[in-house]
Structure 1
Amino acid sequence: MLDEFLHTLEHGPVYWAYALVAAAAAVEYVFPPIPGDTVALFAVALAVRAQLHWAFVYLAMTAGALLGGLTAWGFGVWLADHQSSWPWFLKTPGATRALDAVRRGYEQHGSMYLALNRFLPALRAFFFVGAGLSRMKAAPVLLYGGISAAVWNAILMAAGYAIGNNWDALQNVLERYTLATLILIVLAVLGIVARLAWDSRRA
């Protein structure tokens, strides 16, 4: 399926290519397994080859990321508005404490979380859902989410032009970065779980 998507991106109408880039960036926030960065990097490679205009690729990636982030934020707001309808396991004391911790975290560091979201593959949508659950206003969500998307996409564009017309090399760099990031995330989660277990035993 991804190969067909990339084939359409390369050989389809130019306006359709920009729409696909924006859609991939947006859908990644709704369905995280969608490899939005892979599509974005392929578009960057096409821009390097002058098949697509780099400015329109950049704008499509950034606009798509903002649209997807706002969708995830809206879902978080909807969840907050319907908390009484949540399943029982989300109403347990432990889940309630975790939700309170998330809300406190966003009250203190919400802007930082959103500014970092694009740099953490597979978790991007959850930053915006958390912002919605914490009832962050749309304006800061757009501002800091936009800054994150703009900086990350600028890095992708710079990497594309630095490496040149070498799709395999670009993909390899992205895969290594994603793997390293996921390893760090897993280690962080394990550390948090271990700390919670330790505190629970001491209590």
Structure 2
Amino acid sequence: MFDGIINWVTDLMTTLGAPGAGLAIALENLFPPLPSEVFLPLAGFTASRGGMSLLAAIIWTTAGSVVGAVALYYLGALLGRDRTRAIAAKLPLVKVSDLDRTEAWFAKHGVKAVFFGRMIPIFRSLVSVPAGVERMRLGVFLLFTALGSLIWNTVFVLAGYFLGENWTLVETYAGFLSKAVLAVVAVAVIAFVVSRVRRRSRQRV
């Protein structure tokens, strides 16, 4: 499956050049399991072989990141605060007050969340949804999404460009980062569930 994805992206870049790399990254934003940590170095490697210019690779992949993020932003806006609260109220172990605290946090730190979130695996895509739910100003969202994406994409495209045939090393080390993020998320979820179960147990007593 992984080889199939690589072959598909390679064909896309061969056929369309830099716009193909942008399309791949836009799809990666919409479907987080698709690995930008692979697509971006591959775009850099393709640029090193003359398949596209290095600048075009960075510009088009950043444009693809913004397009994918905007689609998820509008998904969050379509979902809206009322629907989000209704869903939260039906979830076990989740209180609407938890959502209120999350909204307050995002209202205060939303810009930083969007900017730095673009450089964190998994959250790169997910952070766009609460931005839409909270109706962050679109201009602000676009600006900090573009800046964060530009930094992330440039690092990985340049890595693939300079590593050449060894571009796959980038995915190997980036994979450790992704696993670390997943581990932190898993620990946080477990801690939340345990604390909420204990609180309910004390209330029953």
TM-score range relative to shorter protein:
0.7 to 0.9
AA aligned to 1:37 is E
User: Does the C-alpha gap of structure 1 residues 109 and 39 become closer, same or farther in structure 2, counting only changes over 3 Å?
Assistant: same
Q: Deviations along 1:135-175, whole A, 9 cap, x unmatched? A: 21101111111111011112113322443431332222222
Worse overlay, 63-72 or 186-195: 186-195
For the Cα contact (< 8 Å) 1:30–1:125, is it kept in 2?
yes
Residue identity matched to 1:69: A
After superposition, what is the alpha-carbon deviation per residue over 1:102-161, rounded to whole angstroms, capped at 9, x for unaligned? 211111110111012222222322211011111211011111111110111121133224
Q: Is the 8 A contact 1:47 1:53 kept in 2?
A: yes
Q: Please, what TM-score do these two structures have when normalized by structure 1?
A: 0.84
- Cα 1:147–1:192 shift into 2, 3 Å: farther
Contact 1:73 1:132 in 2 (8 A): yes
Q: Name the CA distance, whole Å, in 2 between partners of 1:45 and 1:4.
A: 14
Match of 1:58 in 2: 58
Q: Which residues of structure 1 form unaligned runs of 5+?
A: none
Residues 9 and 21 of structure 2 are in contact (CA less than 8 Å); yes or no, is this contact kept in structure 1?
Answer: no
1:112 corresponds to: 112
Secondary structure of the equivalent of 1:91? helix
Query: How far apart, CA to CA, are the structure 1 residues paired with 2:65 and 2:88?
Result: 29
C-alpha separation in 1, matches of 2:198 and 2:24: 41
1:147 aligns with 2:142: no
State the Cα deviation string for residues 164-189 of structure 1 (Å, max 9, x = none).
43133222222222222222232233
Q: Give secondary structure in 2 for the equivalent of 1:62.
A: helix
TM-score when normalising by structure 2 = 0.83
Contact 2:29–2:69 (CA<8 Å) still a contact in 1?
Answer: yes
Show structure 2 runs of 5+ residues with no match. Answer: none
Counterpart position of 2:7 = 4
After superposition, the CA RMSD in angstroms is 2.5
Cα distance, 1:95 vs structure 2: 4.5
CA distance in 1, matches of 2:6, 2:157: 21
Q: Who is 1:171 aligned against?
A: 171
Alignment of 1:70-109 (within 5 A): 70-80=70-80, 83=83, 89-92=87-90, 94-109=94-109
How many residues get paired? Answer: 198
Q: Aligned equivalents of 1:89 and 1:71: distance in 2?
A: 21
